[in-house]
Structure 1
Amino acid sequence: MADIIVYNSNILTQDKLLPLAQAFAVAGGKFIAVGNNEPVLALQQPHTKLVDAANRTVLPGFTDAHIHIWKVGNLKTFLLDVRGVTSIAALQDKLSDFIKNNPGNGWIQARGFNEANMQEKRLPVKEDLDAVSEDRPVWLIRTCAHIGIANSKAIALSGIDATTHIPAGGEMRTGNDGKPNGIFTETALGLIANKIPPYTADDYAVMIRAAEKEMLQYGITAATDPAVMSDLLECYHTMHNHGQLKIRINALPVRVPDGSETSLPIPARFLSDQLQVHTVKFFADGGLSGMTAAMTQPYQNSTSYGVLRLTPDFFYPLAKEAAGKGFGIATHAIGDKAIDVVLEVYAQIRTAYPEILLRIEHLGLPSGAQLALMKKLNVHCVSQSIFLKELGKNFALYLEAERLNRIYPYRRVLDAGITLALSSDAPVVKDFNPVTGIRAALCRKDAEGNTIGPREAITQNEALYAYTMGGAIANGTSDFNGSISVGKVADFIVLNRLIRSDEDFATENDLHVSATFINGVEVFSR
């Protein structure tokens, strides 16, 4: 009757009707019994595989509800990873070595620098990249992917000069000579990126496989890729059709791509246990770590209010069109000004389409009134606690104490009754291990140990739920995954030991995933 039985476990099911269990049985890839050891073991048959968990903790598979899967894989395969560089000179050295190891005349692409961690405390400009290469185009993407730097060759090949039209919601910054200085932000990124030869379907497949391999090591069994263009979506469909996807993918097609002021067609809805395409993606602003999130007050020691990428008049008809075709709406909104725009449109959408799934991605600095409206409209919050650790230094530079203390307000989100889904937004961050993300939600410390907004800390149980059921709810898949419950797909992970209290996640220790199972089949072990 049972294909596999896991017993002698400390099972944190994330099912509020049965939060704790000792054992479960799996048949046909689904949980068929969850409870105490004795009744579950009674389901054993001659062919049943028994797994003695030896009192270790077992959880549902983690859901990363916002991770750029192909981009994670790209940094493992085709793209130069410059995360962690501490100076422009070190950046130039890495680029020079990469060019030497990749001869030819094609584009050089790199990603990951963070000026807050660099000696110069400034963005690179085209002259810094020209010093590395004047003959080949170089495109350098900041860690947040909301700012890019082009060398002179890339600017020339893209046909850009001081008179170039800049799409709404973007910037092309200029130097003292009035000419482009190489810095492009938000929608203006497309002025360069759209000139780079596209990846092939085979390239995307290589990237996806590379990302999935690491995700399974961290116990991630389901994930949302939150900005999918048509060529990538086609690759996901092809891999799904050939049974090549290892994790469960929720793909969010982009409605308005960078570099464009017109929308893309809405693809067909698609729903299977392995691939879902039922929610579209918009961008309302940029990022806090690069001061492009749209604010109602300027950044600390700056006159900048960030970059607003959407207006209600432009946003509403595109969102309504998608909702009318049965699609949910997910919108990147970090600053309070952007959140205002999104909620204004969401209120209209909710009136016309009461059942549509609505998400706000990131939600960096919402007000109390905005949280109350999110609850009223049933808008889910998909956010990234790991930002506090990896980008906290930037936040402290660009925000005064009042805003810094209420950034990424998970305590207030949960107290308002809003669904919280935690995620990583990798490769914006390097470490996308959910264990690290859970620790960040509990401790709220940056990489140097400084605490950011301690009153917004949440508990271990709340963070575990946000990385499992919270993600499933935000993905619209909570009917078949997210918890260890009878009838759901048997995606689960075994930790290397028993966890007893918040201290198990709150302290730096050896806690990790020992084994990952999807449909009751072991897909990773160490």
Structure 2
Amino acid sequence: MQRQIYYNGNILTQDKRKPKATAFALENKKYIAVGNDNDILQLKNDETEIIDLQNKTVLPGFNDAHIHIWKVGNLMTYTLDLRGVQSVEEMLDKINDYHKNNPQLKWIQARGFNEANFPDKRIPNKNDLDKITTEKPICVTRTCAHQIVVNSKALEIAELSKSTQTPAGGEIKLLPNGELAGHFTETAIGLILNKIPKYSKEELRTMVLAAQNEFIKLGITSATDPAVDKELLEVYKEMDKNGQLKIRINLFPIRIPDGTNKIYPLPEFYSSEHLKVNTIKFFADGGLSGKTAALKNPYKDSSEYGVLRLEKENFKKLTKESQDAGFRIATHAIGDAAIEMVLEVLNEISVSNKNNINHRIEHLGLPSEHDLWLMKELNISAVMQPVFIYELGKNFKEYLNDEYLNYVYPAKSVLEHGINLAFSTDAPVVKDFNPLTNIQSAMNRKDTTGFEIEASQKINFNDALYAYTIGSAIANGDEKEI
């Protein structure tokens, strides 16, 4: 391929030895040199294409270290997007229209509501969804994906009743009359989701390709899909072998599926130019925006403490087994109770971490000072989502007391403790996965109303950009390939 030289630019390299440059050269779509105009222009030949950057700024490709790729594509293709709805009534109207316009669907699926946006702050239930239809099953996923609401037909298909045993680490909600509300949280959502027909390989490919196209438009050149099952893993591998992956993707297979006692076996390692499998994903708790993240103290004006999804000894057994096999451990832990438990386990198994694998904590919503100290000692990366402050800040104000609110997602403290910080969006939990929105959120910590959440945890642009590039690469163990 023809050599290209770009010059007269403001290039932010993220290389601490040479943080800025004015020119770079490409060959076969890869960088062969970065430096000043004079040095790089000497690399031209008669066939070189020369591009004047006209003093524009050039950023590295972004690395979203935690984004559910296929689910982003799913909301673009096969599921109704409810993000942004402002009331239960608006939500029901949208689902009803979708139901009428898609008579071929066996299940009506939608995702994205956030009750904090509703005037009455109410999570809908089966009685609401039954107004649309009782003949076809409906499953509506909250924006966090840790809670679902279904209609009576879905309960019938899943053969659930008020006497159904609740899976450990989840909750089956009841109406005041003792009947099922059709509302399930955390591990209990698997009781319904496992009854929904699986997507075909072709449908999954369509979702991944749709998401990938959007990523490329936004300058996202690397991404991590942080919870995949065996079927999706095989689809990604086939796409890689067929040359359909245009960005670098890391996959995190799960060991514990929702709603069952089954344990998935360890996957095989996989590594190519565009696809890697070297990390195992676990979920320790839920999310702050839906009050299922596990806290030591109750949520604001509530007796709720959230949900610990994992039993400590079982978690320790599975993480040690995964680590001993050479896998990195990535654990979803948001509340302070969950973070503490996860770090206790990672500390206990660290004596057998002979390969010095750098594990990760996903989200890290409410760490204590001791948690941060221990993360530094154990070389554990923090994979955070500043855009949560922007899109979900309204929930944090509603559900967290001041002590928690003033320390939620403390990016500055993470950096001050010398912990590797990686950035991501966790989309489609959030609607906006533009890296620049995420960086802006890290810098101003304001929600959609302009309310500022703890200014002392703001970080500067350079630190945010580093987290979105080098920090994410380090969290994935890819720093030697930069």
- Which bracket does the TM-score occupy, shorter chain normalised? over 0.9
Residue of structure 1 equivalent to 2:381: 380
Residue of structure 1 equivalent to 2:186: 186
Residue of structure 2 equivalent to 1:503: none
Residue of structure 2 equivalent to 1:342: 342
> Would the aligned equivalents of 1:105 and 1:135 in 2 still touch at CA under 8 Å?
no
How far is the alpha carbon of 1:447 from its aligned partner?
0.1
* CA displacement 1:196-238 (0-9 Å, x = unmatched): 0000110010001110111111100000000011111000000
Q: Distance in 1 between matches of 2:375 and 2:27?
A: 39
Q: Distance in 1 between matches of 2:328 and 2:105?
A: 43
Residue of structure 1 equivalent to 2:199: 199
Secondary structure of 1:244's counterpart equals: coil
Residue of structure 2 equivalent to 1:221: 221
How far is the alpha carbon of 1:47 from its aligned partner?
2.2
Q: Return the letter of the residue paired with 1:476.
A: G
Q: Distance in 1 between matches of 2:180 and 2:48?
A: 67
Q: Return the letter of the residue paired with 1:171.
A: E
Residue of structure 1 equivalent to 2:450: 449
Q: Distance in 2 between matches of 1:310 and 1:26?
A: 48
* CA displacement 1:386-430 (0-9 Å, x = unmatched): 000000000000011221011000010000000111110000000
Q: Describe how 1:157-168 pairs up with structure 2 within 5 A.
A: 157-168=157-168
Q: Relative to 1, partners in 2 of residues 1:28 and 1:348: Cα closer, same or farther, differing over 3 Å?
A: farther
> Would the aligned equivalents of 1:312 and 1:344 in 2 still touch at CA under 8 Å?
no
Residue of structure 1 equivalent to 2:461: 460
Q: Distance in 2 between matches of 1:94 and 1:468?
A: 38
Structure 1 range deviating more: 46-55 or 386-395: 46-55
**RMSD (Å), alpha carbons:** 1.1
* CA displacement 1:109-159 (0-9 Å, x = unmatched): 000000000122110011000011111100000000001001110011001
Q: Describe how 1:40-51 pairs up with structure 2 within 5 A.
A: 40-51=40-51
Q: Return the letter of the residue paired with 1:389.
A: Y
> Would the aligned equivalents of 1:169 and 1:310 in 2 still touch at CA under 8 Å?
yes
Question: Whose relative contact order is higher, 1 or 2, with alpha carbons under 8 Å and at least 6 apart?
Answer: 1
Q: Distance in 2 between matches of 1:4 and 1:274?
A: 23
How far is the alpha carbon of 1:49 from its aligned partner?
2.1
Secondary structure of 2:481's counterpart equals: coil
How far is the alpha carbon of 1:273 from its aligned partner?
2.1
Q: Distance in 1 between matches of 2:161 and 2:74?
A: 30
State the percentage of identical aligned residues. 54
Structure 1: give runs of 5+ residues left out of the alignment. 482-526
Q: Describe how 1:12-27 pairs up with structure 2 within 5 A.
A: 12-27=12-27
Q: Distance in 1 between matches of 2:180 and 2:209?
A: 38
How far is the alpha carbon of 1:262 from its aligned partner?
2.8
Secondary structure of 2:480's counterpart equals: coil
Q: Return the letter of the residue paired with 1:106.
A: K
Residue of structure 1 equivalent to 2:410: 409
Residue of structure 1 equivalent to 2:283: 283
> Would the aligned equivalents of 1:227 and 1:281 in 2 still touch at CA under 8 Å?
yes
Secondary structure of 1:211's counterpart equals: helix
Secondary structure of 1:313's counterpart equals: helix
Q: Distance in 1 between matches of 2:371 and 2:309?
A: 19
* CA displacement 1:158-213 (0-9 Å, x = unmatched): 01111212221010011122221111000001000000000011001000111011
Q: Relative to 1, partners in 2 of residues 1:41 and 1:105: Cα closer, same or farther, differing over 3 Å?
A: closer
Q: Distance in 2 between matches of 1:357 and 1:106?
A: 44
How far is the alpha carbon of 1:286 from its aligned partner?
0.1
Structure 2: give runs of 5+ residues left out of the alignment. none
Q: Distance in 1 between matches of 2:34 and 2:250?
A: 27
Q: Distance in 2 between matches of 1:305 and 1:290?
A: 11
Q: Distance in 2 between matches of 1:217 and 1:413?
A: 30
Residue of structure 1 equivalent to 2:147: 147
Structure 1 range deviating more: 116-125 or 290-299: 116-125
Residue of structure 2 equivalent to 1:107: 107
How far is the alpha carbon of 1:263 from its aligned partner?
1.4
Q: Return the letter of the residue paired with 1:321.
A: E
Structure 1 range deviating more: 284-293 or 252-261: 252-261
How far is the alpha carbon of 1:46 from its aligned partner?
2.0
Q: Distance in 1 between matches of 2:86 and 2:116?
A: 9
Q: Distance in 1 between matches of 2:349 and 2:249?
A: 26
Q: Return the letter of the residue paired with 2:23.
A: A
How far is the alpha carbon of 1:285 from its aligned partner?
0.1
How far is the alpha carbon of 1:105 from its aligned partner?
6.0
Q: Distance in 2 between matches of 1:295 and 1:124?
A: 25
How far is the alpha carbon of 1:247 from its aligned partner?
1.0
How many residues matched?
A: 481
TM-score (structure 1 length as normaliser): 0.90
Q: Return the letter of the residue paired with 2:78.
A: F
Q: Distance in 1 between matches of 2:15 and 2:261?
A: 44
Q: Distance in 1 between matches of 2:51 and 2:300?
A: 55
> Would the aligned equivalents of 1:2 and 1:45 in 2 still touch at CA under 8 Å?
no
How far is the alpha carbon of 1:5 from its aligned partner?
1.4
Q: Return the letter of the residue paired with 1:134.
A: T
Q: Distance in 2 between matches of 1:136 and 1:170?
A: 25
* CA displacement 1:462-498 (0-9 Å, x = unmatched): 00001111111111111123xxxxxxxxxxxxxxxxx
Residue of structure 2 equivalent to 1:425: 426
Q: Describe how 1:366-377 pairs up with structure 2 within 5 A.
A: 366-377=367-378
Q: Describe how 1:296-335 pairs up with structure 2 within 5 A.
A: 296-335=296-335
How far is the alpha carbon of 1:2 from its aligned partner?
7.3
Q: Distance in 2 between matches of 1:105 and 1:412?
A: 48
Secondary structure of 1:231's counterpart equals: helix
Matched, 1:248 2:248: yes
Residue of structure 2 equivalent to 1:170: 170
Secondary structure of 1:60's counterpart equals: coil
Q: Distance in 2 between matches of 1:352 and 1:260?
A: 29
How far is the alpha carbon of 1:53 from its aligned partner?
1.1
